[in-house]
Structure 1
Amino acid sequence: MPPVLDRTAYLERLLSVDRPGSGSILAFYEHRVGAICHDPKLMLMPLDDHLAHRGDGIFESMKYEHGRIYQLEAHLERMARSAEGLYLEPPCTWDALREVVIDVARASGCECGMLRVLVGRGPGGFGIDPAECPEASLYVAAYKFTPKDEAWYAKGLTAFRSAIPAKQGYLARIKNANYLPNVFMTREAHQRGMDVAFSFDEEGFLAEAAIANVALVDAQGALVVPEFSNALAGTTVLRAMELAQGEMPVTFRKVREDDLYAAREVLVLGTSSDCVGVVAFEGRPVGDGRPGPVSARLRALLQADLLASGTPFLG
């Protein structure tokens, strides 16, 4: 039988336990405590938070580089929409939450990193009824991030059609904490020895990658983004579409697998990598089998936009 410990003994043992991933944590905040801490051994979530045992919650991932948080407002606006979709309110105002995010980035002591913001139903019981939880939970963590080097972008990605179907539309459009399909897609990519899986809906239309959006450049040179019927509207792909206006035609439409084979370029767009080209889909080369000029241009536009419009937090 394991020992039964009092508070002091339990905390002493807790602080002596090795914690995987501790080297990547820079700073974190929990609303119940109302403070920022740097010790990852204290980065804990109550077991009875419905976020933990029901997946009842939402999250956002944000990047910061050069002391600037990219698309902070866009991420928080999407988080507010997700919260509305789950009938969930954060434990503070959205303005206060925004300030906490900036404070955690500042406390990280780094110019470059990632931020994970989670709002859960909160602790209060192990049932399923949201009424168990008197107040929502809020967790914000900053962790290390090393941008990919030029060789990674020059190599490009290999992609395939996932056996995991696209999410139901009403769930796909909420950035919720249940990411099991995304986990399965990532596992599938490892098993197949490829970089990224693309999900398709029941009618055969392209939805998204595991943690990013997909777009293509068609034979006429237009940037084509699949409709968000069964996919999350990504902050990166939406901003890329805005930045590309005037340089190329931009459109939303349904995309089938055959469109990927006919495309000049296939692109993966997400928070951490901005825009990277797909060089092969299901073993067949995309275009000439190398990342194309549009992937490079969109990445350059996004990186310049971070410097121009990112939210500064240092000083």
Structure 2
Amino acid sequence: MKAMKTDFGTKDFAAFCREHRPGYHADYYAMYSSWWDGITTEPNLMVVPVDDHMVHRGDGLFETFKCVDGAVYNLEAHLARLENGAKAIALQMPWSRGDIRRIIGEVLKAGGRRDALIRIFVSRGPGGHSANPYECPEPLLMVLAIRLPPPFMASHPDGARVGVSAVPNKEGMFAQVKSVNYLPNVLMKKQAVDAGVDFMLGFDKDGHMTELPTENFGIVTTERVLKVPRPDHILAGTTMGRVLALARDHLVPAGVLAGVEEADVPRAELETAAEMLVFGTSPHVTAVTEFAGRPVGDGMPGPVWRELSRLFEADLKNPAMLTPVV
């Protein structure tokens, strides 16, 4: 190990920024931070203060959504969930929805992009290193624009492989609030990668299915009922909510589905499912063709997935669901 520099200053950091150019920085377009109330396109400056309670206590919230051709899909649902999460953890947000919409637009302009994945972080803020939230004078807002990945099925047309997670499930409020406390989710994703599958599915203490590391999950029964977990067991995803609405409005009247239910779904019911589905901002609607090492249905993406995927892809262009920001 070479000798460290003990008087590292701003000139040294400027030199570091010029030299430190890892490949993944190409995916980072721009970031706003209320810490300095400005936007940077320098990836090395897209950082959080080490004394921010989001860093050392996990005391913060986040949202992720997509912007396509300068318009954000389902933005109000994301901002409503952010506001509800802030109320749940008693975090005062001084920014209005209008403020956040304006900042998103400015970040995209600075990054020179109309298509991006947007991440919003609201932290308790810097102010000390204890667990006491009252030592933080004010919260921080960070808005980051990064590369928008393609939906899962675009690169995996045969569908997803899902395993069963051994990680204990988050319960109650901690499951329902989209906080940065994601250690269980990280361990679930690690299990999936280590096992050579795409996702891991969690189960609660009573053996009912919950969710994937960062996605929601549903099944289609042999009676053609689309079932997802009750919302008090999981983080109710905005994509899942929209897909359920599309299913109720279109597939039930058309007879493709007999119904849509939010219910406790035991492991045994998954063994006989006709289809399994993944819902999320990045994966869109994904067909699961293998669960716990066994094929789902005939082992191919099914008819309900095809119809829901078609409806959702069309909804991504629905003017009523789009908020122009650029």
Q: TM-score, normalised by structure 1?
A: 0.94
Question: In structure 1, what is the Cα distance between the partners aligned to 2:152 and 2:192?
Answer: 22
Question: In structure 2, what is the Cα distance between the partners aligned to 1:103 and 1:284?
Answer: 48
- Superposed, 1:1-315 pairs within 5 Å as 2-5=4-7, 7-20=9-22, 21-148=24-151, 152-246=155-249, 247-248=251-252, 249-308=259-318, 309-314=321-326
* Offset, 1:151: 5.1
Q: Indicate the SS of the match to 2:81.
A: helix
- The letter of the residue matching 2:105 is I
* Offset, 1:6: 6.4
Deviates more, 1:191-200 or 1:89-98: 89-98
Deviates more, 1:277-286 or 1:5-14: 5-14
CA contact (8 A) 1:243 1:301 kept: yes
CA contact (8 A) 1:28 1:37 kept: yes
CA contact (8 A) 1:275 1:296 kept: no
Q: Indicate the SS of the match to 1:69.
A: strand
Question: In structure 2, what is the Cα distance between the partners aligned to 1:101 and 1:110?
Answer: 11
Q: Give % identity.
A: 38
Q: Indicate the SS of the match to 1:200.
A: coil
Q: Indicate the SS of the match to 2:11.
A: helix
**1:137-185 Cα deviation digits (max 9, x unpaired):** 1111000123137553521001111001210221010000010001000
Q: Indicate the SS of the match to 2:157.
A: helix
CA contact (8 A) 1:276 1:296 kept: no
* Offset, 1:7: 4.1
Question: In structure 2, what is the Cα distance between the partners aligned to 1:37 and 1:130?
Answer: 28
Question: In structure 1, what is the Cα distance between the partners aligned to 2:105 and 2:206?
Answer: 42
CA contact (8 A) 1:164 1:181 kept: yes
Provide the alpha-carbon RMSD of the alignment: 1.7
Q: Indicate the SS of the match to 1:159.
A: strand
Question: In structure 1, what is the Cα distance between the partners aligned to 2:40 and 2:314?
Answer: 32
Q: TM-score, normalised by structure 2?
A: 0.91
Distance change in 2, residues 1:219/1:199 (3 Å):
same
CA contact (8 A) 1:61 1:116 kept: yes
Distance change in 2, residues 1:150/1:281 (3 Å):
closer
Q: Indicate the SS of the match to 1:140.
A: strand
Question: In structure 1, what is the Cα distance between the partners aligned to 2:309 and 2:69?
Answer: 16
The count of aligned residue pairs is 314
CA contact (8 A) 1:68 1:306 kept: no
Q: Which runs of 5+ in 2 are unaligned?
A: 253-258
Distance change in 2, residues 1:302/1:107 (3 Å):
farther
CA contact (8 A) 2:30 2:107 kept: yes
Distance change in 2, residues 1:123/1:10 (3 Å):
farther
Question: In structure 2, what is the Cα distance between the partners aligned to 1:276 and 1:42?
Answer: 35
Q: Indicate the SS of the match to 1:250.
A: strand
* Offset, 1:32: 2.0
Partner of 2:256: none
Q: Indicate the SS of the match to 1:206.
A: coil
**1:209-230 Cα deviation digits (max 9, x unpaired):** 0010001111111211111232
* Offset, 1:106: 3.6
* Offset, 1:90: 2.4
